[in-house]
Structure 1
Amino acid sequence: MRPLRYAINVTLDGCCDHRAGVPDAESHAHWATTLARADALLFGRVTYQMMEEAWRRPADGRWPEWMGESDIAFAEVIDGARKYVVSSTLDELDWNAELLRGDLGEAVRRLKDQPGPELLVGGVTLPLALADLGLIDEYEFIVQPVLAGHGPRLLDGLAQRIDLELVDRHVFRSGAVSLRYRPAPENSVAR
């Protein structure tokens, strides 16, 4: 069974706005490695469209001039990754993506039952629903040394508390900290 990992940048005050916790070259490299380990990415519509706009290879094949080396490494990994998108409003996708329809819990359980190394989910709304269903096997938060004071909050509205166990941590030169957690054993049964 493939584990499902939720991975996201977050500020010290819990903000998940992509404009508030902008990664540096070192954390971009970390994310590129993390994405490359995953068998597939799982996104909601909003996150999928945001990622596609920022990281899809342009039709002419050349990355924009604003991209540095770490941006390009990240872009190449995410551009080539297999993606599953949960959406009730999109009818078709490209960019190596497939729509997931029907019952969210059943659809994600089917993905997890397939062979492969791991599934990676990002965003804000979809991970909240998956956490409420007890389907997330690991959480990775890169806590950026920023106080945003606004924006969407990490897992805001969670139906019930989930106790976690720390399994790994890494401190970046920037002061950002990667924290990886798994649900504590009493949380491990999917609801």
Structure 2
Amino acid sequence: MRPLRYAINVSLDGCCHHEAGLPPDEESMAYWTAELRRADALLYGRVTYEMMEPAWRRPVAGDWPDWMSEWEIPFAETIDAMPKYVVSSTLGAVDGNAELVRGDLAQEVRRLKQEPGAGLALGGVTLPLALADLGLIDEYTFVVHPVVAGHGPTLLSGLRERLRLDPVDRREFRSGAVALRYRPVPAPSDSPT
């Protein structure tokens, strides 16, 4: 079974809006590229898919845009090549190497996890909340930025039950951001007997 891994940037006060943290730099983009390469497919909701699509779609001309730094290209090439699963009941279609996921969310995500592969990379805000509530996320990575945003969507806001996590990795960046990786602690009823 391939693991479902949720990773997101977050401010010190829990804001996970994509513009709330520090601007990307060479070190952070290399980190996020490596994170993507741990998976063989992406799982996004509609909002994240529509926001990220310009970052992964290679222009028809074949060259990346002039505004993109050389150190951003490996991230763009990686995300462009990855198959994408988009959970949406409102989108009529997706293009490129994306596929719409409809129907029972828990059943569909379990089906995707049962396919062979290295893993599914999960991003966004709303879809991860639903999947955390369903207990389907196998790993969480929070890149905590030394910023207090003061507003915006907050990390897993509205979670139905407390989520207990075991730390498994930590990495500090020159910018002061810290990547923290966790795995859920199984509930007592989930523990092997």
Q: Normalising to structure 1: TM-score of the pair?
A: 0.95
1:12 is aligned to: 12
Is residue 98 of structure 2 the alignment partner of residue 81 of structure 1? no
Q: SS at 1:85's partner residue?
A: strand
Counterpart-to-counterpart distance in 2, 1:123 and 1:188: 29
Indicate the RMSD between aligned Cα atoms, in angstroms: 1.3
Q: Do the aligned partners of residues 64 and 123 (structure 1) sit closer, same or farther apart at CA in structure 2, a change above 3 Å counting?
A: same
Counterpart-to-counterpart distance in 1, 2:150 and 2:102: 35
Counterpart-to-counterpart distance in 1, 2:141 and 2:69: 25
Percentage identity across aligned positions?
69
What are the Cα deviations for residues 45-88 of structure 1, in whole angstroms up to 9, with x where unaligned? Answer: 00001000233111211211111122111111111111000000
Residue identity matched to 1:12: L
- 8 Å contact from structure 1 (residues 162, 187) kept in 2: no
- 8 Å contact from structure 1 (residues 163, 187) kept in 2: no
Q: SS at 1:185's partner residue?
A: coil
- 8 Å contact from structure 1 (residues 79, 95) kept in 2: no
> Which stretch of the first structure deviates more once superposed, 77-86 or 22-31?
22-31
Counterpart-to-counterpart distance in 1, 2:138 and 2:179: 17
Counterpart-to-counterpart distance in 1, 2:162 and 2:85: 27
Q: CA deviation at 1:188?
A: 8.5
Q: Which runs of 5 or more structure 1 residues have no equivalent in the other structure?
A: none
Residue identity matched to 1:9: N
Is residue 118 of structure 2 the alignment partner of residue 114 of structure 1? no
1:142 is aligned to: 143
Counterpart-to-counterpart distance in 1, 2:147 and 2:64: 28
Q: SS at 2:68's partner residue?
A: coil
Q: Tell me the number of residue pairs that the alignment of Structure 1 and Structure 2 aligns.
A: 189
Q: Do the aligned partners of residues 179 and 188 (structure 1) sit closer, same or farther apart at CA in structure 2, a change above 3 Å counting?
A: farther
Residue identity matched to 2:67: W
Counterpart-to-counterpart distance in 1, 2:58 and 2:147: 30
Poorly superposed stretches of 4+, deviation over 6 Å: none
Residue identity matched to 2:85: Y
